[in-house]
Structure 1
């Protein structure tokens, strides 16, 4: 297993590690479990310890939880280091260890804190998304191991143009969910998010859905996902999904090649609670 550092959320309100206040909050329990037991738990073992053992919630589907959505990473300035055995430890974002690890091993970002609204982004959200796009484009341009041709393809895919979009239009022909054919309304949406995919996955047409904008936004922030049969799954957080034009009977036709990406989306992007 490859070592990995999970970085704090890109829109984290702090870059310095903050210890959660004492109490029975999930953040405090998670902090105690990891700080008292560095490199003892894998992610699934950690989730079991936090929610089943300490919170006494055996009813929860622990395999649906993701450490990347923990408030420790999203709001409190803590990164997570996974060693080659998948065992985890807390790393303060303002520490030399965090900076050194981020330069030496594979990294991914924790989930964002951005608003869960599907449409009507406010100025702050718009600036955040533009900043994220700018950062991704800068990383592509500065990658010394990628050819200029590959960089051009990646840049076009990141801004929703180029071969990736054309491949999705050719594959789907319309919105994969609603059947809308108006191209101006269709978004080439990555299933496994751009930030967490490698360059091959970023250009793979099977890592994409062609969606109308409102569904794309809901899918992107994890308010909806799809099970292995293609049936929509709606997050409990998305209480007004019908107003946004979604229905519980919506489906998408998935090919076998889509399944690994969609499984990733369900596990790491979809908001279970």
Structure 2
């Protein structure tokens, strides 16, 4: 089952508390989900899919270093055997003002709120790109 998005922008949530993209910071000296996802996507723009980001975030938060490829593959299969929240629930578009732009191959890049690219996509000026809002943090 393919959980990736294609030709899609996950736009910033309606109740996002910032007016522009903000780089997430460590909390208590530890990497939060937002920091892990921001670091991962910004280090390899257009190199990861939603599935990659979800699994790697989970794995890095468990601090599972030194796994063999077969161990990683087995953990990934176990991880996706349960339903997972998609990146519409990521803190990046919910709290930090980062849109998540997926290309035709399902690869993700960060798209900062307020940037020309973000505004053009939101305005419907980029044909073939679906826009989905990130999930709200609070009930409407």
Q: TM-score range by the shorter chain?
A: 0.7 to 0.9
Aligned-pair Cα RMSD in Å: 2.1
Q: TM-score if structure 1 supplies the norm length? A: 0.39
* Contact 2:55–2:79 (CA under 8 A) maintained in structure 1: no
Residue in 2 aligned with 1:93?
113
Structure 1 residues 124-163: aligned runs within 5 Å: 129=140
- Displacement of 1:20 after TM fit? 0.7
Q: What are structure 1's unaligned runs of at least 5 residues?
A: 116-128, 130-273
Residue in 2 aligned with 1:15?
19
- Displacement of 1:49 after TM fit? 1.4
Residue in 2 aligned with 1:55?
61
Cα distance in 2 for residues equivalent to 1:72 and 1:40: 18
* Contact 2:7–2:130 (CA under 8 A) maintained in structure 1: yes
Residue in 1 aligned with 2:69?
none
Residue in 1 aligned with 2:90?
70
Deviations 1:244-271 (A, max 9, x none): xxxxxxxxxxxxxxxxxxxxxxxxxxxx
Higher helix share: 1
Cα distance in 2 for residues equivalent to 1:67 and 1:89: 12
Q: What are structure 2's unaligned runs of at least 5 residues?
A: 65-74
- Displacement of 1:101 after TM fit? 2.3
**Aligned residue pairs: how many?**
115
| Structure 1 outlier segments of 4+, above 3 Å | 57-63
1:83 aligns with 2:87: no
Q: State the SS of the aligned residue for 2:52.
A: helix
Structure number with the bigger relative contact order (C-alpha 8 A, sep ≥ 6) is 2
Residue in 2 aligned with 1:159?
none
Of structures 1 and 2, the larger Rg is shown by 1
Q: TM-score if structure 2 supplies the norm length? A: 0.74
- Displacement of 1:2 after TM fit? 4.5
Cα distance in 2 for residues equivalent to 1:43 and 1:110: 14
Deviations 1:152-187 (A, max 9, x none): xxxxxxxxxxxxxxxxxxxxxxxxxxxxxxxxxxxx
Deviations 1:209-259 (A, max 9, x none): xxxxxxxxxxxxxxxxxxxxxxxxxxxxxxxxxxxxxxxxxxxxxxxxxxx
